[in-house]
A and B are shown apart, each in its own frame.
Chain A
Amino acid sequence: MNATATAPGVSPDAPRPHDTLRDGTLAITGWGVVSSLAIGADEFTTAVGAGRSGLRDVTGMFDEELPEDEAFAMPDFRVRDHLGRKGTSFFDRSTSLALLGCTLALDDTDLLVTDDNRDRVGIVLGTTAGSIKATSDYSRETLVNDRPYLVNPVLFPNTVMNCAAGQSAIWHKLKGVNATIAGGQLAGLSALRYARNQIRRGYADALLVGSVEEFSPHTAWFAHRQHSEWEGRARVGEGSAVFMVEDAATVREAGRQPDAEVLAVEAGTYGPPGRSPDAGEGLANCVLRALKRAGVEPSEVRAVASGECGIAPLDDVERRGVEGALGTEVWHVRAKEWVGECQSAAGSLQLAALLAGHRGHPELDGAVSVVTSVSADGSVGAAVLRGWHRGRRADRS
């Protein structure tokens, strides 16, 4: 199926003071996942359905010693195996994971990106702090080399946090809005919320939206040194999940069938766990605000894909938030049990887990679910979506 990404009746060159305001409902028309559990939306759907785990032996993955022998990582992942050797040799791991996620999402959507619409197609990616390993390695060079400036200029762009989004745009020649959101645990939902604004305001017609986190000795030790007291916590992981997001009304008018519609995304900031103002109550309000915006009653929510991770003070905030808004009956999808604690990629992987549930199950068509995220710094967020199974639409090819 073909679709243009230009809003009907609006020439991109016409003066548009305060661009057209769409209603903010987003359609997800395709997605891609790169995770220790599976790579690709279909593969991820199968793996989630089979209840598999992505936990892997990671000893020997790096020269540096690791705090734990197992992680939700991909020891064999090489970007060149997926995208070829040409142009990929200097990519850091975050960039590789994100670019592959974007590529898979583009393959999965029925939106065709051509020279006619690539100015209005862009990327919004969430991160914690970019490739922490690339940055720390670069920083290390200034300390251990004979002279502090004997660093490799070619690797310098890898230290900026927008490297993954910038390289992905270059790879796919997407000249529309290109944004990077440093959101940590909230990154997936923040990216979605940012994209919602861009599309609602008419600044872009289609955006690859998602988030990414890499596994490295740094992320493993940072987590271990902070949280080792919580023995049951989800082990650290890595991955990316990217969604092709468009204006829902435009997709509907074109007779296209989305995988899901994101009806609302809300976020707020409260105290860190245990401090005032209570983030649990904040999350409950945030979920209720999102439901109201979505026009959905709490009782209609079938599932919540939460970010619970086995760290009690954080889980307590999330549990109270979800229960406060949705009660105790709602079904919890705990994606971190299968894909690990992927930090900034977590929210997007939670959303992917819900889409995986819909993808092969027509009986779930139209069901409403919620994604929730909380951070150690007191940020909370919630998204409301309605999903459908795949297979209702003719394949683009």
Chain B
Amino acid sequence: MSEAREQHLDELREIVAEVLEVEPEEITETGSFVEEHEADSLRAIEILARIEKKYKIDIPQAKTMLRTVSPADWGRTSLFAAAAARLAVEDSGIDQELLSAAAAGSSIGTTSGESQVIEQLTAEWVHEGLSGITPAYAAQVPASRLANAVNQELGLSGEAVTLSTACSASNYALGYAYDQILTGDADYMIAGGADSVCRWAHAGFYRLGALTEKVCSPFDKDRSGILTGEGGAALFLETLESATARGAHIYAEVLGYGLNCDANHMVAPDPVSIAECMRRAHRNAGISPADVDYICAHGTGTPANDTMEAKAVVEVFGERPPPISSIKSMLGHTMGAASGFGAIASALALDEGFLPPTTNYRTPDPGMPGIDPVPNESRPARPKVVQNNGFAFGGNNAITILGQVA
């Protein structure tokens, strides 16, 4: 091998090592290293982006998801938010230039914002003291950057608001976006949420006894807790007139939402308060409980949550409530993104005609009779109105109602 080629390889190895946070010597082309890292597409994009920058060359693959924001300048959660928003806009088919010129903004929900950035800074604190922290990481700490990343990525000049109401935050975001459109404050809104897995949250849930050892099996008699998850979810919102006029594929209509607060306990859910939140959502959407064909549950898979959620559902819907399933059985608990994923699942259920399943379901819980969790396999159905539940630490309940376009 020539010396120049050797040097290039060393440089590339350094870039890869930096992004993957490993020693350059650990990088090999085979075995466990590849297995461990091959699924991480965002880091792969970041590696390509850094190679692009260093050698001043153009690599189209470096921009497959994000076209504007540079992965090196943003924390992982902001990148999830921006990437999801980019995908949502592409899926919507809206003209990019029209979107940028319009009154358009974003509302993004999160639990822990740039948790991995804070973890990185904490590691620097432990190893070098706070005086040794990296300024660029400090600049990435504000969670406001999640929505900022969305607006920067898409060139939106409207409001960028990050709602940090923990695990119901995406429903807050969707509700806010709905109001922005309804009142004419905005013509288009991106609504969703993002979060990254992090060590401290994992440790915290573990110590609360909320983490399952094996699988997440919501509504099962033997359910034993959550699995932490991560990602970004985004929905593109506009008025029905606008969507119809441009011949867009309309997945669902946002009918309304409801918010309230337990004001009782930081972590224990309160079924009376949750039931009241459902009633608020129904009132706002102009529906009654009998109109709801399916409930996309908060369904974390902890004994407490599912029991309390089922109790609230029975209180509002009676002994025979509509089917209620938890997609967290498949995605894990993506925290602030969770009700965003729930809204997407709800929209797909309405659009494609099915009910998403609760996987890993084995044994009915005699403590919640009448609950139909759509066990293990999706069910063909024609839901017209869907309720998407989101609950959170702090007693921050948020429920959105989506419906088929009449």
The residues of B with any CB-CB pair to A shorter than 8 Å are 105, 110-115, 118-119, 121-123, 125-126, 129-131, 133-135, 138-139, 141-146, 148, 151-152, 156-166, 172, 176, 179-180, 182-183, 185, 198-208, 256, 259-267, 273, 276, 280, 283-286, 288, 392-396
Contact = CB atoms under 8 A, between A and B. Distances in A.
Interface of A: 15-19, 21, 64-65, 67, 118-119, 122-123, 127-130, 132, 135-136, 138-144, 148-149, 151-153, 156-157, 159-163, 165-167, 169-170, 172-184, 186-187, 190, 193-194, 197-198, 200-201, 203, 217-218, 221-223, 225-226, 267-271, 277, 282, 375-379
Contacts of B285: 17
B158 A268 contact: yes
Nearest to B273: A175
A282 B125 CA distance: 37
A116 to B, nearest CB: 15
A136 B31 CA distance: 35
A169 B144 contact: no
Given A140-B122, A269-B152, A178 B259 contact: yes
Given A178-B396, A197-B183, A221-B131, A186 B144 contact: yes
B201 A159 contact: yes
B176 A197 contact: yes
Contact of A166 (B126, B130, B162, B395): B395
A169 B394 contact: yes
A142 B294 CA distance: 40
Contact of B165 (A156, A178, A197): A178
A257 B130 CA distance: 49
A304 B248 CA distance: 44
A182 B142 contact: yes
B258 to A, nearest CB: 8
Contacts of A175: 260-263, 273, 276
A140 B261 contact: no
B138 A226 contact: yes
B392 A162 contact: yes
Contact of A218 (B130, B134, B199, B200): B130
A396 to B, nearest CB: 22
Max count, chain B CB within 10 A of own CB: residue among A122, A182, A277, A375: A182
Nearest to B145: A377
A221 B133 CA distance: 8
A157 B138 contact: no
B330 to A, nearest CB: 24
B266 A128 contact: no
Contacts of A149: 202-203, 206-207
Contacts of B148: 269, 375, 377-379
A119 B261 CA distance: 9
Contacts of B286: 15-18
Given A129-B113, A170-B266, A162 B164 contact: yes
Contacts of A162: 164-166, 392-394, 396
Contacts of B113: 129-130, 161, 182
A270 B393 contact: no
A267 B159 contact: yes
B141 A129 contact: yes
Contacts of B145: 184, 377
Nearest to B280: A203
B96 to A, nearest CB: 15
A65 B131 contact: yes
Contact of A161 (B112, B183, B202): B112
Nearest to B200: A139
Contacts of A148: 199, 203
Nearest to A224: B131
Contact of A16 (B118, B121, B160, B283): B283
A127 B200 contact: no
B76 to A, nearest CB: 14
A152 B206 CA distance: 11
A166 B142 contact: no
A178 B394 contact: yes
6 contacts: A140-B125, A165-B165, A173-B263, A175-B260, A178-B396, A182-B146
Contacts of B160: 267, 269, 379
Nearest to B258: A203
Closest 8 CB pairs of A and B: A166-B394, A17-B286, A182-B143, A178-B261, A161-B164, A156-B204, A222-B138, A184-B142
